[in-house]
Structure 1
Amino acid sequence: MIVSLDDYESLKETAYLLRNPANARRLLASIERLERGEGSQRDLIE
């Protein structure tokens, strides 16, 4: 399988973030909230 470098780096980062069980639970809970429409939009501070 061939993937772009950007996709590969994204997969590596996701695997790293999900390696820690507490972090994985927090991230997955956040995704669930977003999918239920409970997210909020904010301006980026430069």
Structure 2
Amino acid sequence: MAPASLVAAMVVTSLISALIRLTEKAFQLLVIGVLLALSCGVLMVLLYL
């Protein structure tokens, strides 16, 4: 009984850590996209002025 619960706990923790890594990567991509959009907007404004 103990080994099965141990394996289940390991699987759950690995799934949670994978989810956290995925959300961190998604957040980093979101931040990079926002920064790129902002810099493009600033460049366009400067070019039009």
The alignment's TM-score, normalised by the length of structure 1, stands at: 0.39
- Using CA pairs under 8 Å that are at least 6 residues apart, name the structure with larger relative contact order, 1 or 2: 1
Which one has the largest radius of gyration? 2
The alignment's TM-score, normalised by the length of structure 2, stands at: 0.37
